[in-house]
Structure 1
Amino acid sequence: MRPLETFIEQRKERFVRNSLMSDEFLDFVNKNMKPIEKQMSYYQCAIMEVETKFKVLNEQYSLEYDRNPIEDIKSRVKSMESLIKKIRKKDIPLTLSSIEENIHDIAGVRVICSFPDDIYMLADCLLSQDDITLLEKKDYIKNPKPGGYRSLHLIVSVPIFLQDGKRNMTVEVQLRTIAMDFWASLEHKLRYKKDIPADKAKYLEDEMLACAQISAGLDMRMQNVRDVIAENAKPDEQSLLLKDLS
């Protein structure tokens, strides 16, 4: 290993030892491991509640309108490593109450839809339920990020029912089309490639932005195809499809 690489590795090791393995952090883990595990289980329960709501909506659309607006549902509870990084990035106290108050994406549910219209329809259906409270909404479909990222983000509060009572938990819900999810998956992989030369990195950045614009156009064209099919369906089919589009 070259001297510079050796130096960098040593510095990295020292950072891990002094930061992530600090006495403060180790004390926090020792004192709070059981409460942390319990808190993570609450987030998992909240995910199950939200997933069930979307599965019920999908089943209802299947029975009433003979189609499924949801292609897939993915979920995750943030890993301990990611949670630690977020705590340090936000520079918040190492307490469970502070984590719950300041970090809203520990529980995440991603809903993959067929068409852009389905995203807003499902979001409205979810938010109209009386036990769901909207805390924050970010529409990266109508207002994409500079790099091209598109998705609808909702931070919601949902109750879970435990042995000793009800508890409200925060869940981040992301709604995307198949094209949006495919793009985001590739962008996520590229984000952590640190060994790409500067000229190639600029090319990839421009190419990903172009791909985002193409996929946005594809989403709209596919939705237009669906609309034309609905408008030209037989009378009995048309009433079903138009009801679906309303």
Structure 2
Amino acid sequence: MAIGNLDLTQLDRTLMTNEQKSLLNVSNVSQKEIEQLLIMRGQVQEFQMMMMKYDCALSEVRTKLEILNKELSLKNNRNPFENIKSRIKTPVSIYEKLNRKGIPFSIENIESNISDIAGCRAICSFVDDIYMVADCLKKQDDVHVLVEKDYIATPKDSGYRSLHIIIETPIFLTENKEFMKVEVQFRTIAMDFWASLEHKMKYKKDIENAELISEDLKFSADLINQLDRRMQQIRERIDAGDGKPYGMTPTEEEERADCETMEIIRREIQAEQNAARKRGKKKAE
């Protein structure tokens, strides 16, 4: 069996350590086993250099976002970001992602097939802050946008909402300049709250009424979207009104939000009724 450039079937197993033999179980690999694989290939330093470059690129992007946050907080008298998180994928996580794609583990395949080794998540106060800050980042002349996925305008079936962009940004080394990929996610506080809990719950096994729970999560995501829009409307009224009383006539956007909220409630009632009928059938059986 080949893993990347290394054909394990050609190795003399009598000369292999237990750690090396365990590499034959390619579906479940530990950090130590990946290190051993890199040692066997003589690619430890090359792998470390690659990960260092991604870490540097992540620092560059984080700095760009922090500068934008400082400038916009002075211009607008409020911070567009509530928090900025960043992370580098672990070697095990990188291996597992390649394995899910059916791609052998190698440095070349990592660089060609994975775009989110370096990841940054910007948690914004309001939805319009997301698009405003993302546009500011994309307009910088040393940032190349490779992919953009707007899950706010078009949510996933699960209800997940976020704006994802994959960019290339340069890092300056001693002898050259290299462009490295970084994935940047933009979410509101409410979107991040929902996504964090949904991520934890979906990995639990043997869940009863999984279909109903998925419907509940989707319903919750829709409610959170309504909350985001309501909070933005309130902020816009405060910014525009100088403390004056709100008008009694709802805006077109508010009327649309009310209709969507009623539709969400109608779907939730229907889902509960369907679940009750299913429970009744099970008892009857």
The reply to whether TM is greater than 0.5 is yes
* Corresponding residue of 1:155: 166
Deviation track 1:162-215 (CA, whole Å, cap 9, x = no partner) reads 112211100000000000000000011012101322x2x222211110110000
| Overall identity of the aligned pairs, in % | 48
CA distance in 1, matches of 2:139, 2:91: 33
Is 1:63 equivalent to 2:66 in the alignment?
no
More displaced, 157-166 or 168-177?
A: 157-166
Q: For structure 2, list consecutive stretches of 5 or more residues without a partner in the other structure.
A: 1-20, 244-285
Is 1:193 equivalent to 2:200 in the alignment?
no
Deviation track 1:99-119 (CA, whole Å, cap 9, x = no partner) reads 111100110000000000000
8 Å CA contact 1:112, 1:175 repeated in 2: yes
- 1:50-199 counterparts in 2 under 5 A? 50-197=61-208, 199=209
CA distance in 2, matches of 1:59, 1:105: 26
* Corresponding residue of 2:263: none
The code of the aligned residue for 2:234 comes to V
The code of the aligned residue for 2:105 comes to L
How far residue 91 of structure 1 moved from its aligned partner, in angstroms, is 2.2
Of the three residues 199, 208, 214, the one matched with 2:217 is: 208
Secondary structure of 2:155's aligned partner: coil
8 Å CA contact 1:92, 1:99 repeated in 2: no
CA distance in 1, matches of 2:24, 2:199: 28
Secondary structure of 2:204's aligned partner: coil
How far residue 28 of structure 1 moved from its aligned partner, in angstroms, is 4.4
Deviation track 1:9-66 (CA, whole Å, cap 9, x = no partner) reads xxxxx99752156xx9754453222211111111111110000000000000112221
State the structure with more CA Rg: 2
Structure 1 residues 145 and 161: alpha-carbon distance in aligned structure 2, compared to 1, 3 A threshold = same
Secondary structure of 1:18's aligned partner: coil
More displaced, 26-35 or 59-68?
A: 26-35
Structure 1 residues 133 and 220: alpha-carbon distance in aligned structure 2, compared to 1, 3 A threshold = same
* Corresponding residue of 1:18: 25
Of the three residues 227, 242, 245, the one matched with 2:236 is: 227
The code of the aligned residue for 1:233 comes to D
CA distance in 2, matches of 1:193, 1:216: 25
CA distance in 2, matches of 1:118, 1:18: 47
Structure 1 residues 35 and 63: alpha-carbon distance in aligned structure 2, compared to 1, 3 A threshold = same
The code of the aligned residue for 1:205 comes to S
Could you state the TM-score of these two structures normalised by the residue count of structure 1? 0.83
More displaced, 113-122 or 159-168?
A: 159-168
Identify which of structures 1 and 2 has the higher relative contact order when contacts are C-alpha pairs closer than 8 Å and 6+ apart.
1
CA distance in 2, matches of 1:56, 1:83: 30
Give the total of aligned pairs: 218
8 Å CA contact 2:121, 2:185 repeated in 1: yes
Secondary structure of 1:215's aligned partner: helix
Structure 1 residues 15 and 185: alpha-carbon distance in aligned structure 2, compared to 1, 3 A threshold = farther
* Corresponding residue of 2:259: none
